[in-house]
Amino acid sequence: MGAIRKEIEDLELSGISKVALGALGDPEVIPLWFGESDIVTPAFIRDAAKAALDSGQTFYSYSRGTPALRAGLKTYLDRLYGIDLHPDRITVAGSTMLSVVVAAECLLDRDDEIVLLGPYWPNIRVAARLMGARSVDVRLRAGERRWELDLGEVARAITPRTKAVYVNTPSNPTGWIMSAEEGSALLDLCRHNGLGLIADEVYHRNVFHGRDPAPSFLELAGPEEPVFVLNGFSKAWAMTGWRLGWMVAPQHLVEPMAVLAECNNTGATVFAQAGGLAALEQGEEFVRSFVARTRINRDLVMELIGSHPKVTLPEPEGAFYAFPRIEGLTDSLAFAREVLQRCKVGIAAGYTFGAGNEGHVRLCFAIRTERLRLALERLRGLLDEL
């Protein structure tokens, strides 16, 4: 007792894992709890990784990523956003999650504050907590048609202790996509207050409304601003199990980024990076077909759940989650457990996505449409009984 940091002793499972852990692998359960589809990574990506493995790529490599993948990322990002990114700014990480931790390591000290634009994916709150920092929630409001950001509320949440703002767009769990104008205004607010910005853009290609890719802070921020743009391969190319991501950091941090990469996991898995390069170079058709499928699924969620009289649900604009509010719901964890038990459908409890979300649940709609339909019909049946 006493030797372990309090932040560690206090760690609790998220409201996703608390529901899921007891029933993982149960074939009867239709899983809508985690952020992934049931599609195996496309063959051309697997083949590229296999070829790298078979050619002997089993050694330590550059901790910031193989030169081939870093060059591939520059080409991809330049083409996608019409920019000319300095290669020094790109670091390959062993997951988007790891790049979230690195960004927190770069920006947050003990007793600092970070403003989290919510509803948000809970791991950012934990990453901040691990630094000994405090998170302050600013929740978007569910409007009639979309989730709405009130920049005035963000400004009011800033204190002398605030060091950074976190935004995830397209958003897990709401599907909200920040417009270029909203992004620009948020960046100005950060500049004005001397704050860092963590922009989690891992769903940049999962877009139903507006431009693909979603607007990015790579198009807005200068190369030396304290803006960390995080991304990864998990969500656009069905590569959640690969553990491969990247981040774009301020240019002068070349050396610290190399040291952080070395201390965190000494670089991402080398042969996985060959798969990542194939995804960037040959993955456009897959990205389009995956988004087309999730768009159909999004429409199905709106039809079967969004239309329910007890439900409020702004239509998701991107990512692959719906975050309905259920009338009268006061204990989202108990409800998610009830749904698991009675419907054999796995969903995530809303409370875990930040303050003010106890009346919500999150559904991931990336699985096969027919299986999703079955899950939604069961859930709708339960809503009828409430």
Ligand X SMILES: Cc1ncc(COP(=O)(O)O)c(C=O)c1O
Taking CB under 6 A as the rule, which mask of x and - marks residues 108-137 in contact with ligand X?
Answer: -------------x----------------
Q: Count residues near ligand X (CB under 6 A).
A: 13
Q: To the nearest whole angstrom, how small is the minimum distance from the Cβ of residue 199 to ligand X?
A: 11
Scan for tokens 């952080």, then name that residue: 260
In the complex, the smallest distance separating the C-beta of residue 31 from ligand X, rounded to whole angstroms, is 14
Name residues contacting ligand X, limited to 214-233 (CB under 6 A): 232
By CB under 6 A, the residues from 76 to 95 that bind ligand X are 95
By CB under 6 A, tell whether 168 contacts ligand X: yes
Q: What's the min distance (Å) between Cβ of 92 and ligand X?
A: 12
Closest to 209 measured CA to CA, from 239, 256, 182, 176: 176
Chain positions 188 to 207 lying near ligand X, rule: CB under 6 A, are 200, 202
Choose between 92 and 313: whose C-beta lies nearer to ligand X: 92
Residue 172 binding ligand X, by CB under 6 A: yes
Should residue 234 be labelled a site residue for ligand X when binding is judged by CB under 6 A? yes
Q: Tell me if 245 contacts ligand X by CB under 6 A.
A: yes
Is 133 in contact with 103 (CB distance < 8 Å)?
no
> What is the Cα–Cα distance from 69 to 279, expressed in whole angstroms?
10
With respect to ligand X, which residue has the nearer C-beta, 168 or 357?
A: 168
Least spacing, CB of residue 63 vs ligand X, in Å = 18
In angstroms, the CA 91 to CA 247 distance is 5
At its nearest, how many Å lie between ligand X and the CB of residue 313? 19
Could you tell me how far CA 349 lies from the centroid of its own chain?
17
Distance of alpha carbon 60 from the chain centroid: 28
Tokens representing 167 are 């935004």
Give Cα separations from 351 to 146, 332, 348, 363, 385 (angstroms).
20, 6, 9, 13, 22
Cα 308-309-310 angle, rounded to 5 deg? 90
| DSSP string for 296-351 | HHHHHHIIIIITSTTEE-PPP-BTTEE--EETT---HHHHHHHHHHHH-EE-EEGG
Beta strand 113-118 with 134-139 is: parallel
* Residues 141-160 interacting with ligand X (rule: CB under 6 A): none
- For residue 248, which phi and psi values (nearest 5 degrees)? -115, 120
Which residues in 11-40 contact ligand X (CB under 6 A)? 35
Alpha helices in the chain (DSSP H): 6-9, 17-20, 43-54, 67-81, 96-107, 123-130, 151-157, 180-193, 254-264, 270-282, 284-301, 332-343, 369-385
Distance CA 325, CA 356 (A): 11
Query: 32, 52, 77, 97: which one contacts ligand X (CB under 6 A)?
Result: 97
What 3-state DSSP class applies to 90? strand
Q: How far is the CB of 244 from ligand X (least distance, A)?
A: 7
Which residue lies nearer to ligand X by CB, 245 or 283? 245
We find the least distance from the C-beta atom of residue 93 to ligand X, in angstroms, to be: 9
Pick 95 or 332: Cβ nearer ligand X: 95
One-letter amino acid for residue 227 of the chain: V
Nearer to ligand X, 105 or 331 (CB): 105
Residues 314-373 that bind ligand X (CB under 6 A): none
What type of residue is 251?
A: Q
Q: Could you give the CA distance from residue 77 to residue 115 in angstroms, rounded to a whole number? A: 27
* Closer of 61 and 96 to ligand X (Cβ): 96
Nearer to ligand X, 106 or 202 (CB): 202
Q: What x/- string results for residues 259 through 298 when contact with ligand X is judged by CB under 6 A?
A: ----------------------------------------
Of residues 63, 169, 240, 332, which one binds ligand X by CB under 6 A?
240
| Closer by beta carbon to ligand X, 168 or else 308 | 168
Interaction site with ligand X (CB under 6 A): 35, 95-97, 121, 168, 172, 200, 202, 232, 234, 240, 245
